Amino acid sequence: MSGEENPFLKAFTNAEAVAAYQSGPMQFTPGLEALHRMVAILLEEVVPADARILVLGAGGGLELKALAERPGWTFEGVDPAGPMLDLARRTLGEDAHRVQLVEGYIDDATAGPFDGAVCLLTLHFLAPGERQRTEEAVRRRLKPGAPFVVAHACLPPESQKRDTWLDLYAAFAKSSGAPAEKVEMARAAVSAADVMIPPDEDIDILRKAGFRDVEQFYAAFTWHGWVGYA
């Protein structure tokens, strides 16, 4: 997928949006700091002390910064938005030397093999076919048995249920201090997106991409997270 094909990319190349990015995930994603800790724990169960971890959708650097608390790990962070990678570099601070940042998509990542991979708050931007292709490309870059940890937004197909979950999504953001106008714009954008799929379909895609023993480890209103193994 190119930048021209991805309408969401514009939101992550606008200077004003990038400058304000850091507060967004915390306001819209319940338990984000805990999610980062859970991801690290799931990786630690399997990867070696000197693990090389692939992070897809690494712009902003929040998950990279959290995972870099494990001193022996190094990372490759991939993101199509150059300004977001610049923000990631600033967020990482003194840990930036442990991260190779790559501007692009999964096909631009090095071949690995990596000890583990992470993709947070990203795959919901991709249609199911492209999502599966991306996950297959991640799996090819992993060592046998390596963990792949994902978390992103899901919505049920029924319109009434979708509205209920979107209302909860918006209510959480408002309770976290997000401006009402920003929340309503976000809710409308998520509601209009035709790439949001139910959680069970996400599990199927992970399995079709070749990941085994897929298990859910995180659920918070519209957000869900799974771990699977190459």
Return the axis-axis angle of helices 180-192 and 159-175, rounded to nearest 10°: 150
Domain ranges of the chain: 7-229
Pick the CATH number of 7-229 from 3.40.50.1460, 3.30.420.40, 3.40.50.150, 3.40.50.720: 3.40.50.150
Check residue 173 and give its pLDDT: 95
Check residue 23 and give its pLDDT: 62
Check residue 159 and give its pLDDT: 83
Q: Are 68 and 43 in contact (CB under 8 A)?
A: no
The pTM of the full predicted model, rounded to 2 decimals, is 0.91
**Per-residue pLDDT of the chain in tens (230 residues, 90 and over written 9):** 433 445 555 555 555 555 555 567 889 999 999 999 999 999 999 999 999 999 999 989 999 999 999 999 999 999 999 999 999 999 999 999 999 999 999 999 999 999 999 999 999 999 999 999 999 999 999 999 999 999 999 999 888 899 999 999 999 999 999 999 999 999 998 988 889 999 999 999 999 999 999 999 999 999 999 999 99
Check residue 107 and give its pLDDT: 97
Edge-to-edge, what's the strand order for the sheet holding 52-56? 99-103, 74-79, 52-56, 116-120, 147-153, 223-229, 212-220
Check residue 3 and give its pLDDT: 38
Instruction: Fill in the amino acid letter for 148.
Output: F
